[in-house]
Amino acid sequence: MWRYFHMLPLEDKGWAVSQGEGWTPLVDAPRLARQLGVRNVLLKNETVNPTGSYKDRQISFGISKAREVGARTVAVVSSGNVAASAASYSAIAGMKCNIFAPSNASEEKLIQARMYGASFFRVDTLSSSRIFDLVIKACKKKGWYLLSTAGLYNPYHVEGAKTIAYELFEKTDSLPDWIIAPVGGGGLIGGLWRGLTELETLGKFRTMPRIIGIQSSACTPLVNAIEKDLSPADVIANPVAVGDTIAGAIADDILYDAYTALPAIRETGGHAFSVADDEMLEAEKMLAQTAGIFAEPASASTVAGVRKLRDTGLVRSGDTVCCIITGSGLKDMASARRLVGSPQTIEPSEEAFLRLE
């Protein structure tokens, strides 16, 4: 990621805290494409980042910025991926890390964060906006640095996400027709849009890819905003209800990056859709068994989104789509267990082995 230092707002590269995040594979998935009924499916495999998600890009830059301003303690609101990343990068930087998670956060992700030595607190609410309000007050009174990937609270960290757009440009002869990304607070699609518009301004390409945001049907602030033509201010001022979902990573009751996420959809001619838990689980299995990538349900939502886009006729059979696979399935083994069940037990005999196909 730091190959793009000259495009990032950090004064001195000496402040950078890095584990080699970024420059992730862009995988051609022909078997998956055939199942989804499109010509080409590209998968930006962010699961191979150091802590298993694309959030390492944002946190690498965020911790670097915190070092630059002299922070000693960082505070994080996260259901899992940001927590794990923040704890890891804080450990490298020698900073104290306080993590506050909603009650529906994945246990696997929280274990990962605690292994890095962070102080962890589960808050008895599903509302991330309520937790943010409390953490912001604590940061002001205690002098903590708010290490949030939400642009509403810290505008710097989306800069890390935009490097995905730079890599897509470098790794392809021509950009895809569609870029499909999961959406919680909206920072990822906002970052993609920022990166693409910067490249467009530099004259690197002429045709802008259309950006699609995918949300859990249990939490749809972006979908609501697009369908009702809401302004960013309206979206931020009105949290939505959060239902039960396996995709806690994208269950934010506020579209925190509305000021970049909504233009990402509207100015590229994109759209927003929601998918249900069973659609994400089916897509998680399909992705693993056709492309060899084990993704958490929220990440697999992009694959479920392609199917929905084909059903609506928005994406045509001759199009090229790129799905951003944001986080590893190892972060949510409970959901994967629902898909595969228990292994078969056989006798320790030659006959038993020869009966197998």
* CA separation for the pair 70, 87 (Å, rounded): 18
Residues 49 and 76 occupy one common structural domain: no
Residues 207 and 307 occupy one common structural domain: yes
Determine the pLDDT at residue 97. Answer: 97
pLDDT single digits (tens) 112-125? 889 999 999 999 99
Residues 187 and 315 occupy one common structural domain: yes
- What pLDDT band is residue 150 in, cutting at 50, 70 and 90? confident
Residues 192 and 320 occupy one common structural domain: yes
Q: Quote the percentage of the chain above a pLDDT of 90.
A: 85
Residue 105 has pLDDT above 80, yes or no: no
Whether 357 is covered by a domain: the verdict is: no
- The candidate with the shortest Cα–Cα distance to 84, out of 61, 108, 102, is 108
Quote the number of domains for the chain: 2
Residue 152 has pLDDT above 90, yes or no: no
Whether 344 is covered by a domain: the verdict is: no
Q: Quote the percentage of the chain above a pLDDT of 70.
A: 100
- Cα–Cα distances in angstroms (integers) from residue 105 to residues 225, 291, 316, 326, 331, in the given order: 25, 27, 36, 17, 11
Least confident segment among 124-133, 173-182, 192-201: 124-133
Higher-pLDDT residue of 217 and 126 is 217
Q: What average pLDDT is seen over the chain?
A: 95
Determine the pLDDT at residue 230. Answer: 97
- What pLDDT band is residue 57 in, cutting at 50, 70 and 90? very high
pLDDT (mean) for 177-189: 97
Question: In DSSP terms, which residues pair with 145 in a beta bridge?
Answer: 74
Determine the pLDDT at residue 65. Answer: 96
Whether 90 is covered by a domain: the verdict is: yes
Whether 345 is covered by a domain: the verdict is: no
Residue 127 has pLDDT above 90, yes or no: no
CATH code, domain with 92: 3.40.50.1100
Determine the pLDDT at residue 341. Answer: 86
- What pLDDT band is residue 227 in, cutting at 50, 70 and 90? very high
Determine the pLDDT at residue 220. Answer: 97
* CA separation for the pair 304, 277 (Å, rounded): 10
Q: Is the dihedral of CA 279, 280, 282, 283 positive or negative?
A: positive
Burial (CB count within 10 angstroms: exposed 0-12, middle 13-18, buried 19+), residue 277 = buried
Residue 104 has pLDDT above 90, yes or no: no
Determine the pLDDT at residue 206. Answer: 87
* CA separation for the pair 355, 357 (Å, rounded): 7
* CA separation for the pair 244, 280 (Å, rounded): 14
Whether 201 is covered by a domain: the verdict is: yes
**Collapsed DSSP state (helix, strand, coil) of residue 179:** strand
Determine the pLDDT at residue 144. Answer: 97
* CA separation for the pair 153, 136 (Å, rounded): 9
Domain C-terminal end among 146, 173, 190: 146
- The candidate with the shortest Cα–Cα distance to 65, out of 139, 3, 143, 149, is 149
pLDDT (mean) for 126-148: 93
Domain C-terminal end among 146, 175, 200: 146
Residues 186 and 276 occupy one common structural domain: yes
Whether 341 is covered by a domain: the verdict is: no
Q: CA triplet 34, 35, 38: central angle to 5 degrees? A: 50
Residue 208 has pLDDT above 80, yes or no: yes
pLDDT (mean) for 336-340: 91
Residue 303 has pLDDT above 80, yes or no: yes
Residue 158 has pLDDT above 90, yes or no: no
Determine the pLDDT at residue 85. Answer: 96
Residues 90 and 182 occupy one common structural domain: no
Residues 247 and 126 occupy one common structural domain: no
Domain C-terminal end among 146, 168, 193: 146
Range of the domain at 117: 55-146
* CA separation for the pair 123, 238 (Å, rounded): 21
Determine the pLDDT at residue 179. Answer: 99
Determine the pLDDT at residue 298. Answer: 97
Radius of gyration of the chain (CA): 20
pLDDT (mean) for 62-85: 93
- What pLDDT band is residue 151 in, cutting at 50, 70 and 90? confident
Residue tagged 């790129």 (tokens) = 322
- The candidate with the shortest Cα–Cα distance to 119, out of 128, 127, 110, is 110
Residue 111 has pLDDT above 90, yes or no: no
Alpha helices in 175-220 (DSSP H): 187-201
Whether 152 is covered by a domain: the verdict is: no
Residues 25 and 109 occupy one common structural domain: no
Residues 48 and 76 occupy one common structural domain: no
Determine the pLDDT at residue 262. Answer: 98
- What pLDDT band is residue 128 in, cutting at 50, 70 and 90? confident
Residues 167 and 294 occupy one common structural domain: yes
Residues 32 and 175 occupy one common structural domain: yes
Residues 96 and 139 occupy one common structural domain: yes
Q: What's the DSSP call for residue 245?
A: -
Whether 189 is covered by a domain: the verdict is: yes
pLDDT single digits (tens) 276-300? 999 999 999 999 999 999 999 999 9
Copy the structure tokens of residue 86: 């923040």
